[in-house]
A and B are shown apart, each in its own frame.
Chain A
Amino acid sequence: MSDVSSLTRLETPELLSTQPVDPSERPSPGGRRRPLAPFVRAWRQLTSMRTALLLLFLLALAAVPGSLLPQRSVDPTLVDLYIAHHPKLGPFLDRLYGFDVFGAPWFAAIYALLFVSLIGCLIPRLRLHARALLRRPPKAPAHPARLSSGIKFETAATAEQVLEAGRAVLRGRHFRVATDTGSVSAEKGYLRETGNLLFHVSLVILLAGIAVGGLFGYTGKVVVTDGEGFTNTLVQYDSFNHGGLVKTDQLAPFSFQLTDFQAEYQPDATPKTYRAYVTLTTEPGAKATKHVIRVNDPLKIGEAKVYLINHGYSPHVVLKDRNGKAVYDAYVPCVANDVKYLTSNCVFKIPDTGLPPSGPLKKPQQIGVEAGLVPTFSSTNFQSSIFPALLKPRLAGVQIYLGDLGIDAGTPQNVYVLDTSKMKLLNLKGPGGSNPPLLSPFNKSADSVTGLPGGLTLSVDGIRSYAVFSVKYDPGKGLVLWAAIAMLTGLIGSLLIRRRRVWIRANTTRDPEEAGRTVVEIGGLARTGNLTAEFDDLVRRVRDRLPEQG
């Protein structure tokens, strides 16, 4: 019954994964290379399914803190806040990479081991499958009818006719067929293992794609006010992250101009649409083209993409000297602290006021302004907006400081935060005697604050929208996408396709009374599930093809 033993081996463990054989069952590579034995054992342990399961579980577990603690990769300011609020725990967690979980060495160690284990399983598995693809289906057992799906019948047709009919039916159903004397063997469903291997190989390729993106990709953020432009060079970005192999002086040479930003809102202040109209020049000297960038709909420039990720308002700030000459004139973006109604914080830093340094220490006389921007002002609440659009914009609570902005020291500073430690607050009144001043950027005459030293006048005479764009370049993205598609295809194949074998044996009967008749046995085996319906159908088709029913 050697046939049966080979069948039972086919039946034993249904291998979904890449693990071919339990490590303890694998044949030893020979006793001579004794010194390597511990390494061989360690390798087997690593590539065993149990280890893979453990690593999978560890990977899931290790990802949990990444969702509970704020992550630098997602929002660095939240991390700073967390550390500030937890002076003991924060730095401790930081040392353990609690805020960079997905870049932590221990996280990398888990997935690196997992992928080594995976590759260690894949290679022998690929070899085995390649061999199986080249090999013919195994020979028929002595009595196929005794299999879980099996049938035995007699017919007047000759053995050759039966086998020919069987071959034709099985080939018609895309079985791989081999013929021996008196029997036919057929097998189908090789795609299960092909799919399984495709899935796991694609997983490795996916990881490679992610690595390519990490090394050669960059991402940057830039704030552009209506009517202003952006050129894709390092200095123009407000923030910029890049992979280790990016040449930052050779970024794609495109530039664009934001001609108009439009936002529409529902009456209940929920946003409806955002549109950024831009004029793009792909490289110096190229013809300019018009485009619209929306949320969910980025602008593609070669391999780079420009996304619209946020928006806000930039008031037009002008500082005039006593002769009415502008010494400062700029649209300054304000940062929204309320995402829904866009109440924003504004900081204007005016280093060059035209005032001479004062006192014996020659302290610079620079101007810094803090104010709240309220897109739709209501008299009931001065501090917060009641609608996100610019229906009745006001700069409220304007605080003007005079002194040293601290930007000359060369230390980098956040443009949205005013350091008032070396400055003095001026007590000034705005239009209509408002104190602190309340300015409307819509007044044609320009609302202004007077009474600054040296006869200076600070005024706000307009306001525009700004858009925040994110520029992304990820050369590994295509590879990741294709690997993902291949993964899914392989996965579906490995879970839905069943591998099954069918054997037909036909012998001329030895019973003298029934001379000339043929005894036919057909049997089938499936690794998973049952074969009943398909098997019955195959048998019916074979019998239909026989010249005379038995």
Chain B
Amino acid sequence: MAGLSNDLFVVTVMAYAIGMVAFAFDLAFRRAPTRVIRAAVTLPSEQAAEQRVLVGAGPSVTAPPVPPAPPVPPAPPNSTGTPSVEIALEPERGYGRAGRIAVGATLFGWLAHLATIVTRGFAAHRVPWGNMYEFSTVVAFIVVTAFLVLLARQKARWLGVFVLVPVVLYLGLAGTVLYVKAGPLVPALNSYWLKIHVVAAMSATAMFFVSGIVALLYLAKVRRPAGALLSRLPDAASLDRLTYGLVAFAFPIWTFAIMAGAIWAEAAWGRYWGWDPKETWSFITWVIYAAYLHSRATAGWKGKRAAWFAVAAFSALIINYYVVNTFIVGLHSYAGLK
């Protein structure tokens, strides 16, 4: 079973690699770039939602088969009191060949990924997140899942290559440097809190991972809105909102992960907080994300500065994960490579 899991892991990484290349092609050679159209619309009828879409999309699209799903931003009332609507449009609707291959390969990889995790769990006779290799594998799985959800709900195909490149690198690192054989847990990890605390930490990490990518894209987009590839991304405001949405979703989960960790620490070591390096970096990450959420509501700090907070917070998360686990000795050391 352990061997099967390892084989599936290789299949997963290969499928993602194919998906990554195809997404890159899809983004680079799509005929028309994504464009934002600002339209002033008065909505007199009850089919408000559909009407808005039709009017907004009218100039460039003949007949949209599906009502587009991108988040329609709240429209600030303008001087005349007539609401205006911003819609991120993808004139080249539907999936080209590259796009189809990309999504297909990613979906296939996702299934292999799921199977990798399940077989690993059976091989080790426990939940498959007891060491760094397994943790990375599951986090990458949640990242891809989050991306697929975004893909289904919004037009997030542009995000594909930017998610899959780090995912492939991350899995590559997990499979080579961090790999350990399937085996039982050390007694300190043998607790139902392993399920609660670690699942929360993994989910939040994965969401922060995606938010970090989008925040970086936002910063690139703000710098060069018309750059070769950047022009094909949604507008900066949409990227900013997506970053915020992901952080706002992940932050309570991260808070919960820290609290569950504290409760576990209290049961295992007799103190709920002891400034162990892992705890310290979780705290640092939490504080910077808190600063991000606040900065987005502060005049003079929203936008670029807020995005830098999101990037800084994500860096703290990465440090917590790689540097603290491997180079700093602490009570969480068993999570590492030994």
Taking CB atoms, residues of chain B closer than 8 Å to A402 are none
The proximity string for A residues 516-550 relative to B, scoring 1 for CB distances below 8 Å and 0 otherwise, is 00000000001011111101100110010000000
A297 touches B267 (CB 8 A): yes
Q: Mark A189-212, 1 if CB is under 8 A from B, else 0.
A: 000000000000000000000100
**Pairwise interchain contact A152-B44, C-beta atoms closer than 8 A:** yes
Partner of B48, one of A15, A149, A305: A149
B269 in the interface, Cβ–Cβ < 8 Å?
yes
State the Cβ distance, B295 to closest chain A Cβ, in Å.
Answer: 6
Q: Does A53 reach chain B (CB closer than 8 Å)?
A: yes
Q: Given A16-B293, A74-B274, A488-B255, verify A53-B301 contact (CB < 8 Å).
A: yes
A298 and B270 in contact, given A16-B294, A49-B294, A50-B300 (Cβ under 8 angstroms): yes
- Find B83's partner among A56, A74, A146, A539 (CB 8 Å cutoff): A146
Contact with B along A266-285 (1 / 0, CB 8 A): 10101111100000000000
Could you tell me the distance in whole angstroms from the C-beta of A22 to the nearest C-beta in chain B? Answer: 6
> When the two chains form their complex, are residues B256 and A68 in contact, meaning their CB atoms are under 8 A apart?
no
Contacts A8-B77, A74-B275 given; does A49 touch B187 at CB 8 Å: no
Q: Which residues of A contact B75 (CB under 8 A)?
A: 148
Chain A proximity mask over B215-259: 1 for CB below 8 Å, otherwise 0:
000000000000000000000000000000000110110011001
Contact of A56 among B76, B193, B290 (CB under 8 A): B290
Knowing A8-B77, A470-B270 are in contact, say whether A13-B297 is a contact too (CB < 8 A).
yes
Residue numbers in B under 8 Å from A435 (CB-CB): none
Given A57-B288, A266-B184, A530-B74 contact (CB < 8 Å): yes
A: number of interface residues (CB 8 Å)? 81
Q: Contacts of B290 on A, CB cut-off 8 Å?
A: 56
In the assembled complex, the Cα of A53 lies from the Cα of B290 at a distance in Å of 9
By a CB distance below 8 angstroms, the chain A residues around B190 are 273, 295-296
Identify which of A13, A147, A270 contacts B184 (C-beta below 8 A).
Answer: A270
CB of A63 closer than 8 Å to a CB of B: yes
Q: Is A44 an interface residue (CB 8 A)?
A: no
A307 lies within 8 A of chain B by Cβ: yes
A295/B287 in contact, CB under 8 A: no
**What number of B residues sit within 8 Å (CB to CB) of A?**
67
List the A residue with the shortest CB-CB distance to B82. A146
- Cβ of A4 < 8 Å from any Cβ of B? yes
In the assembled complex, A286 has its CB within 8 A of some CB on chain B: no
B169 touches A (CB below 8 Å):
no
Interface pair A532/B72, CB less than 8 Å apart: yes
Q: Is the CB of A4 within 8 A of B300?
A: no
Q: Contact at A491–B251, with CB atoms within 8 Å? A: yes
Q: B71, B270, B280 — which one has the most chain A CB atoms within 10 A of its CB?
A: B270
Please give the distance in Å from B330's CB to the nearest CB on chain A.
8
Tell me which residues across on chain A come within 8 A of B272, comparing CB atoms: 477, 480
Which residues of B have CB within 8 Å of A361?
none
The residues in B between 283 and 331 inclusive whose CB is less than 8 angstroms from any CB of A are 283-284, 287-288, 290-291, 293-301, 316, 324, 328, 330
Q: 1/0 per residue B130-145: CB within 8 Å of A?
A: 0000000000000000
CB distance from A19 to the nearest CB of B (A): 7
| Contact mask for chain B residues 26-63; partner A; CB cutoff 8 A; 1 contact, 0 none | 00000000000000000111101100000000000000
- In contact, A536 and B48 (Cβ under 8 angstroms): yes
Give Cα A149–Cα B267 distance, bound, in whole angstroms.
51
List the A residue with the shortest CB-CB distance to B245.
A529
Which residues, 12 to 67 on A, are CB-close (under 8 Å) to B? 13-17, 19, 22, 49-50, 52-53, 56-57, 59-60, 63-64, 66-67
Which of A17, A19, A145, A219 lies in contact with B271, CB distance below 8 A?
Answer: A219
Does A225 make an interface contact (CB < 8 A)? no
Complex alpha-carbon distance, A536 and B74, angstroms: 15
| A53, A153, A492: most-surrounded residue (chain B CB, <10 A) | A53
Quick check: is B108 within 8 A (CB to CB) of the other chain?
no
The answer to whether B83 and A60 have CB atoms under 8 Å apart is: no
Instruction: Say yes or no: B255 contacts A487, CB within 8 Å.
Output: yes
A530–B256 Cα distance when bound, in Å, is 28
Chain A residues lying within 8 Å of B71, measured Cβ to Cβ, are 529-530
Please pick, from A50, A101, A268, A271, the residue contacting B298 in the complex, using a CB distance under 8 A.
Answer: A50
Contacting residues of chain A (279-315) with chain B, CB-CB under 8 angstroms: 295-298, 305, 307, 309
Chain B residues lying within 8 Å of A298, measured Cβ to Cβ, are 267, 270
A365 CB → nearest B CB, Å: 43
In the complex, which residues of chain B have a beta carbon less than 8 angstroms from the beta carbon of A116?
Answer: none
Cα–Cα distance between A305 and B265 once the two chains are bound (Å) = 13
Known: A53-B291, A151-B46, A530-B72. A67 touches B186 (CB 8 A): no
- B65 CB-CB contact with A under 8 Å: no
C-alpha gap A540/B267 in the complex (Å): 53
- Residues of B close to A528: CB separation below 8 A: 74
B7: Cβ under 8 A from any A Cβ: no
Q: Which residue of A lies closest to B47 (CB)?
A: A536
Q: Which of B271, B276, B284 contacts A60 (CB 8 A)?
A: B284
Q: Which residues of B contact A176 (CB under 8 A)?
A: none
Determine whether the beta carbon of B77 is less than 8 Å from that of A66. no
Which residues in B have their C-beta under 8 angstroms from that of A74? 274-276, 330
The answer to the question of A481 belonging to the interface, with a C-beta cut-off of 8 Å to chain B, is yes
Q: Determine the residue in chain B with the shortest Cβ distance to A495.
A: B248
For this complex, 13 residue pairs linking A to B, each with C-beta atoms less than 8 Å apart, are A1-B81, A11-B77, A50-B301, A52-B294, A56-B290, A73-B275, A101-B275, A146-B77, A270-B186, A271-B186, A296-B187, A298-B270, A533-B49
Identify the A interface with B (CB < 8 A): 1, 4, 7-8, 11, 13-17, 19, 22, 49-50, 52-53, 56-57, 59-60, 63-64, 66-68, 71, 73-74, 101-102, 143, 145-153, 210, 219, 266, 268, 270-274, 295-298, 305, 307, 309, 470, 472, 474, 477, 480-481, 484-485, 487-488, 491-492, 495, 526, 528-533, 535-536, 539-540, 543
Q: A309-B269, A532-B72 are in contact. List 14 more A-B contacts (CB 8 A).
A: A67-B328, A73-B274, A74-B330, A149-B48, A150-B48, A151-B43, A151-B44, A153-B45, A219-B271, A270-B183, A270-B184, A296-B193, A298-B270, A488-B252
Binding site for A on B (CB under 8 A): 43-46, 48-49, 71-77, 81-83, 183-184, 186-188, 190-191, 193, 248-249, 251-252, 255-256, 259, 262-264, 266-277, 280-281, 283-284, 287-288, 290-291, 293-301, 316, 324, 328, 330
